[in-house]
Amino acid sequence: MDIREIIARYQDKPGGLIEAYHAIQDEFNYLPQEAIREASLAFGISEAQAYGVATFYSYLSVEKRGKYIIRMCESAPCHVAGADELLKALEKTLGIEVGQTTPDGKFTLELAECVGQCQETPVITINSVPYTDMSPDKISAVLAQCT
Amino acid sequence: MAQEYRIVLANAGKIDPASLDDYLNAGGYKSLEKVRTMSAKELIDLVRSSKLRGRGGAGFNAGMKWGFVPETAPETYVVCNLDEGEPGTYKDRTIVEADPHLLLEGMAICAHAIRSKQGYIYCRGEYPFVVDHLNRAIEQAKQSGQLGDFNIEVRMGGGAYVCGEETALIESIEGHRGEPRFKPPFPGVAGLWGKPTVVNNVETFANLPAIVKNGSEWFASIGSPNYPGTKVFTLTGDVVNRRPFEVPTNTTIRELIFDLGGGIPNGKAFKAVQIGGTSGAFIPEHLLDTPLDFDSMRDAGITLGTGAVFVMDETRDMVDVVTRIAKFFEHESCGKCNPCREGTFRSYELMKKIKTGQATPSDVENLSTLSKVMTKACLCGLGQAAPTPILTTLEHFSDDYKRRLLAAIS
Amino acid sequence: MIRLTINGREVEAPRGSTLLQACQLNGIEIPTLCYDPDLRLAGSCRMCIVECKNRPLFLASCVAPAEEGMVIETHSDQIMQARRVILELLAARHDFSCQTCDKNGDCTFQDYCYEYGIKESSFEDGGRRIYTVDDPNPFLERDYNKCIMCTRCVRACEEITVARAINVENRGHHSKIAVAFDGYLEDSPCVFCGQCVMVCPTGALTSKVSAGQGRAFEVDRVLTTCTYCGTGCTLELNVKDDRVVGVSSNREEEWSPVNKGALCVKGRFGWDFINSPDRLTTPLIKENGEFREASWDEALDLVAQRLQEVKDQHGPDSLAMFTSARVTNEENYLAQKFTRAVLGTNNVDHCARL
Amino acid sequence: MTNSIGELEKDSRCIFVIGSNPTDNHPVIGMKIKKNVLYNGAKLIVADARYTDLASIADVYLPHLPGSDVALLNAMMNVIIAEGLADQAFIEENTEGYEEMAKVVSSYTPEYAETITGVPADDIRKAARLYAQSGPAAICYAMGLTQHSTGTDNVKSVCNLAMLTGNLGRPGTGVDPLRGQNNVQGACDMGGLPNVYTGYQAVTNEAARAKFEEAWQVKLPDQNGLTLTETINKAHHGDIKALFVLGENPMMSDPDLHHVEAALKHLDFLVVEDIFLTETAQLADVVLPGACFAEKDGTFSNTERRVQRVRKAASAPGQARPDWEILCDLATRMGYPMSYASSEEIFKEITSLTPSYAGMTYARLEGKGLQWPCPTIEHPGTPYLHKDGKFSRGKGAFSAIEYKPPFELPDEEYPIVLTTGRSLFHYHTGTMTRRCQALDEHVPEAKLEVHPELADKLSIIEGERVRLSTRRGSIEITAHVTERIVPNVVFMPFHFTEAAANWLTQSDLLDPVAKIPEYKVSAARIEKL
């Protein structure tokens, strides 16, 4: 779907900028510059402000990202449940470090703060779908679901 | 033996959350019908006298909060805070996933009290499935006419803990950077788009149908008299039963962890519990008999917060955990005010220094001074509460720090 | 009026005042960094905090309403310590290159560091973020190593100039003032008015045109009216050793009724023609198609003689004067007086239509 | 300006900007308008062939073709009258000539005007309603309205519109010409015009003349003199033999520079007083070095009639002297002793002869200055004129104005309309700003704004050098392809001597009353190099 069309769906919503950004990310996985420019025009705000909003929220990214965005929670409950080890294992399996995208453009690995699934820690999310009670030995099986 | 007492989770597991009929059959939307026969003032008086206090952390009397909205205001908003960002907290998700119409009914009751036509649910970006779930419920309620002329829209956050602060949340709904506003003016006077706005937590709204149905005296008689009712706690960390519990507010911390939570697993000993989320106090053994109500906790120097209960056993090192928490605040500070933007960054830096054995006692002194200044000088609750884990662990678990400093000296 | 107690003294302030206004009104100085009376309030630097009896938190006086009966301490030990901590935190991110900074001596942040005795920060172990200084525009130097994030520049850009070129990007300690996509000002809606320079309380934003030519304590500021368009903005010429080295502006309405200190790019950065080597410095007389230098006496005698000759030969209406929309009223008056009374013609006009 | 600049920031609820690009040419006024519109809810109507910065935030944008202003304004009035939006009470009490005006306007339906202006009829309706219904409403205009062969008609039409809706004499209303130069208002106020002494006292008025003769102790000529453009023409014909140019640069600023050059070269004697060796000074027989604004005392009068102080900050370079000292010296040498101790002493003479300045002194000007009329020493000055609908001539006169096409319309040979103006980063003939390092580095050359459609048609790309020609001549210039201009119009600034716009403009047909040249419309042609 075209960036303009996506934005147009939210244009008349008061304060709909962030909603529009979410919708663009659903399509592109990040916010292309063009989207931020278009949004600033559509919502009557400056580009600088539209960019300021885009860079404020950790779910929004102005950098290109992979098809699957893996977010590894490192908040305290996950931390004590072994998040550090899990992260190391994720980096090893994917062959990338936090903040990077695999060369095939398939996975981006990010850190996250609490994702609200603390009943079964540690937790990762892949494109917002939570995988709870994770451990290094479960990684391969989970990643295999990403096609 | 402490027991659960369910008000907001009364339907949880008993009805199909996707079914409006189930909710109606369980008596749903009857309270909303009832308030429509009441005046706004009668409703506010009812809620005020129930002594229902906000379940989001600040513990303000809900009826009084509503009363701040000027009666003549032509445009008002009801905003539900579902930005459950405190690590270790998942109670609001639990309530909404189990019983979405309960929240909608609660919001519509509030809307009647402040003559609002528009409500927003600000749902954290980590819960897109909850957004879908709520949108289906709203659609059902609209289709069946339950909400009358009250509209509810769900807005999704973008991954910013600070948006749990009500004015930052309002800024975010308006499509801005989620930076808190200074208060006054309070949202009740000038909130969303400058209009009077009531912002309450999911759990607060979810209590309303029962209060309307059973009366304020009924509610006021449950739990602790100053903070009556129940509270949903979510147990995490080194505890056997890691799940939500709804208990009367006179339950003690010890009862919650050891009776309901099943105690510490693997035969380990209890060391600390952090209550109220990641900005909460670290509580040692000797304070465990404090009842879980706002005032009792406050008197013990603890904030009740959001109901997260993060248990740590004897093997946990407080410096390690608090360093991790300091990183959280460094990441989540919005950057608007100086003491928080710079303070959270430097706190994390000093904690790392302590953790890696490079700190001197004067570093700890600095950290303590900085923390105390932050609690009083920061613009919003985030910066004011961020030092709590540091200050409470320095107070109750100073050995963990000293050990590291000794390492530095040797 | 309401009554409150500040530092043990009972004072009055108009209802609706902020605590800061109440203090200022009563001669009590409160330090501020983000506060600017012409911009919307931020309440974010927290330098203006004060203690209020029975309130657990400090109040930011710039945004806190003064209320009847309040008991306020503005310089208690607690407050002084908090301000010192805040300044130390800012100091830890600030590049103290005061020796070479154009704002040396005219820097609010420097003043407070001096006043509160901030020699060095206790928070410098982790170092500070280093920003490259490379905006290629010829007007404004942006050195974010000196920025203390007061956001006055953002608000001035939004509210005075309404160019909306800059905003805060990122979050928390990573936040920084930036144009969209953290690019160059030249690629943004910036109009280079320099209102941001005007409001900046540190050396983060300075004029490239004036760089190195004189600091505040070395210059005299002469209030005058801008020489460009017809708006009539007032500005201050900064003069060092009888040479104009820069432009600043007076923000008091009393001295700047049209613009309240706001200027455009020409007013603020277009002053160096004054010192241009192309300036005419001596009368010139053309001989055989070439100019040669001449004395005033020689030149004026020649002009007087030639004009008189033409007048005598062809009559006064064969003479004309173009006066100027750029010279003063007094000079225009004399020019038309000269034309009418001396040359004897009404052939006087100027480029009002051009 | 009938009203004050500050009113545009808060009092005006609607602002109609026609033929003016304040964010570039009067930036601080532009800022105030933007603030009012974006943050204070004021309505904005912009009529301009260029999509200016203000156009981009306007409620209604009217991209009317250069030279079609009267048709546009008449059509707006047509709508206002037809829809009963006129202020009948104001018209009856304070104006005359309504019937005649209304009769002319009645034939300018928006549909008819659309055929002339190129603006959709509905947009004209929208603009008319907005202006008439969202008062207090102000009209701002500048050279885009006046530099036409119908400039006077255009201004009268704007006045008609304001009177028709009662938008005069209150804060936030008004007819506000935004004047282009620091002291153009003062030069006019001071009698730097061929027909008036200071304060617009006519040279043909015997009482006025007698007053000045008495004060100056000399017999004064009783016929109106020549305007600037007429002077150039007369020099060309040989009727003007000697010219004194004080701080002007006609070799850049005047229309048809071939014509100007020939005229100046034809003079017996040309003396130029300036701060730089301008294009004009290069043609002079004698050049006198003046002091610039930073090097002398005095006053400027701004576009809202505010007289403010100019203060000496530094010494003039070399032997350069303030112009007033030079003039005194020269007059004395010509047998008419002129001697003043200071600019303040000259100002005292001005106020003694000028009723509208009579109440001013340097001491009173010290802070905020004073806005004329300021007739007495107690008078606070006048922020807005025509209070309560009172006009100096009694009643405000409507003028019945018919649309006349510009002098030079595009044809087969010259199929494009060239319009000229200014850039934010430069000033007038560039004498000063081209010598400001930063300004000249930022905008070092003129660029011809060309719409993408036209660029496509001519296969011109961004940054390409092209030849731009009119019947007067041609220049080479760099093309800038932009959607910010209507398709068949091109725009260029006139600040740059390397590509001076006025080699192309015409001086054959001036506005019959104001003698203003038609800088805003020349038929032109673009060729690839």
Out of C160, C254, C306, closest to residue D31 by CB:
C160
Q: How confident is the model at residue C125 (pLDDT cuts 50, 70, 90)?
A: low
* Surface-to-core class of residue D349, CB atoms within 10 Å of its CB (0-12 exposed, 13-18 middle, 19+ buried): middle
* Distance (Å, whole) CA D264 – CA D182: 26
Instruction: Look at residues C37, C36, C62 and name the one whose alpha carbon lies nearest to residue C48.
Output: C62
Same domain, B235 and B110: no
pLDDT confidence of residue B181? 97
Residues of chain C with C-beta less than 8 angstroms from the C-beta of A36: 180-181
What are residue D93's phi and psi, to 5 degrees? -80, -35
What CA–CA distances, in Å, run from C73 to A38, C204, D450? Answer: 50, 32, 64
User: Is the fold of D184-374 the same as that of D416-528?
Assistant: no
pLDDT confidence of residue C157? 97
Residues of chain C with C-beta less than 8 angstroms from the C-beta of B370: 85, 89, 123
Same domain, B308 and B325: no
Beta-carbon contacts of B38 under 8 Å, excluding residues fewer than 6 positions away, are B46, B112
Same domain, B174 and B276: no
Q: Give the mean pLDDT of D5-14.
A: 96
* Distance (Å, whole) CA B346 – CA C121: 11
Q: How many domains does chain B have?
A: 3
Domain definitions of chain C by residue range: 2-75, 89-207, 216-275, 284-353
Angle, to 10 degrees, between the axis of helix B128-143 and the axis of helix B91-98? 40
Lowest mean pLDDT among A61-65, B57-61, C11-15, D402-406: B57-61
* Distance (Å, whole) CA B389 – CA B383: 12
Tell me how close the Cα of B212 comes to any Cα of chain A, in angstroms: 30
Mean pLDDT of chain D: 94
Handedness of CA D15, D21, D24, D26 (dihedral sign): negative
Structural tokens at position C179: 């144009």
User: Domain range holding B291?
Assistant: 226-313
Q: How confident is the model at residue C126 (pLDDT cuts 50, 70, 90)?
A: low
Class of domain D416-528: mainly beta
- Establish if B171 touches chain C: CB-CB under 8 angstroms: no
Same domain, B105 and B156: yes
- pLDDT for residue B408 is more than 70: no
- Closest residue in B to A73 (Cα) is B87
Q: How confident is the model at residue B407 (pLDDT cuts 50, 70, 90)?
A: low
Out of A78, A81, A117, closest to residue B90 by CB:
A117
pLDDT confidence of residue B305? 84
Strand-by-strand arrangement of the D269-274 sheet: C290-293, C284-287, D286-289, D269-274, D242-246, C319-322, C348-349
CATH fold label, C2-75: Ubiquitin-like (UB roll) (3.10.20)
Tell me how close the Cα of C225 comes to any Cα of chain A, in angstroms: 32
Answer whether residue B263 is part of any domain.
yes
pLDDT confidence of residue B2? 84
Distance from chain centroid for Cα C258: 15
The CATH superfamily label for domain A68-144 reads: Glutaredoxin (3.40.30.10)
CB contact under 8 A, B278 and A75: yes
**What SS3 state is found at D419?**
strand
- pLDDT for residue C315 is more than 60: yes
Exposure string over A73-110, b if 16+ CB within 10 A, otherwise e: bbbbbbbbbebbebbebbeeebebeeebbeeeeebbbb
- Establish if C288 touches chain D: CB-CB under 8 angstroms: no
Exposure string over C172-183, b if 16+ CB within 10 A, otherwise e: bbebbbbbbbee
Residues of chain C with C-beta less than 8 angstroms from the C-beta of D192: 323-325, 332, 335-336, 348-350, 352
Answer with the one of B165, B198, B221 that is the final residue of a domain. Answer: B221
Give the mutation candidate from D140, D334, D357 for the C interface (greatest C CB count, under 10 A). D334
Strand-strand pairing, D522-528 and D474-481: unpaired
Strand-strand pairing, C2-6 and C71-73: parallel
Q: Using one digit for the tens of pLDDT, what is the confidence trace for A8-47?
A: 999 999 999 999 999 999 999 999 999 999 999 999 999 9
CATH of domain D7-178: 3.40.228.10
Q: Using one digit for the tens of pLDDT, what is the confidence trace for C258-282?
A: 999 999 999 999 999 999 999 999 9
Q: Using one digit for the tens of pLDDT, what is the confidence trace for C91-112?
A: 999 999 999 999 999 999 999 9
CB distance A51 to C170 below 8 Å: no
* Distance (Å, whole) CA B407 – CA C336: 90
Same domain, B91 and B104: yes
Same domain, B199 and B232: no
Answer whether residue B58 is part of any domain.
yes
CB contact under 8 A, D246 and C283: no
CB contact under 8 A, C180 and A55: no
Answer whether residue B62 is part of any domain.
yes
Mean pLDDT of chain C: 95
Same domain, B51 and B129: yes
Q: Give the mean pLDDT of B265-283.
A: 94
Q: Chains D/B: 3 or more C-beta pairs closer than 8 A?
A: no
Residues of chain A with C-beta less than 8 angstroms from the C-beta of C166: 48
Tell me how close the Cα of B175 comes to any Cα of chain C, in angstroms: 15
Residues of chain C with C-beta less than 8 angstroms from the C-beta of D233: none
Structural tokens at position A16: 């709909």
pLDDT confidence of residue B406? 66
Tell me how close the Cα of A52 comes to any Cα of chain C, in angstroms: 4
End-to-end CA distance of chain D: 45
CATH of domain D184-374: 3.40.50.740
Residues of chain B with C-beta less than 8 angstroms from the C-beta of C78: 376
- Global model pTM greater than 0.90: yes
pLDDT confidence of residue B410? 46
* Surface-to-core class of residue D344, CB atoms within 10 Å of its CB (0-12 exposed, 13-18 middle, 19+ buried): middle
Q: Give the mean pLDDT of D188-204.
A: 95
CB contact under 8 A, A76 and B87: yes
Beta-carbon contacts of D320 under 8 Å, excluding residues fewer than 6 positions away, are C279, C280, C281, C282, D275, D289, D290, D291, D295
Is residue C109 within a helix (H) or strand (E), and if so which, with residue range? helix C108-115
Q: So what's the architecture of C216-275 in CATH?
A: Single Sheet (2.20)
Same domain, B171 and B257: no
- Establish if C159 touches chain A: CB-CB under 8 angstroms: no
Which B-chain residues 311-350 have CB contacts (< 8 A) with chain C?
330-339, 341-346, 349-350
Q: Give the mean pLDDT of C179-188.
A: 95
- Establish if D55 touches chain C: CB-CB under 8 angstroms: no
Domain definitions of chain A by residue range: 3-56, 68-144
- Establish if A49 touches chain C: CB-CB under 8 angstroms: yes
Which residues, in sequence order, are bridge partners of residue C284? Answer: C293, D287
Q: Using one digit for the tens of pLDDT, what is the confidence trace for B14-47?
A: 999 999 999 999 999 999 999 999 999 999 999 9
Beta-carbon contacts of C345 under 8 Å, excluding residues fewer than 6 positions away, are C316, C317, C319, C320, C339, D221, D225
- Provide the CATH number for the domain around residue B290: 3.10.20.600
CB contact under 8 A, A36 and C170: no
Residues D337, D341, D344: CA angle, nearest 5 degrees: 115
CB contact under 8 A, A51 and C165: no
CATH pick for C89-207 out of 3.40.50.2000, 3.30.70.20, 3.40.50.1980, 2.10.210.10? 3.30.70.20
Chains that touch B (3 or more CB pairs under 8 A): A, C
CB contact under 8 A, C168 and B353: no
Same domain, B262 and B148: no
Q: Using one digit for the tens of pLDDT, what is the confidence trace for C204-231?
A: 999 999 999 999 999 999 999 999 999 9
Percent of chain D with pLDDT over 90: 88
Domain definitions of chain D by residue range: 7-178, 184-374, 416-528
User: Is the fold of C89-207 the same as that of C216-275?
Assistant: no
Mean pLDDT of chain B: 94
Q: How confident is the model at residue D507 (pLDDT cuts 50, 70, 90)?
A: confident
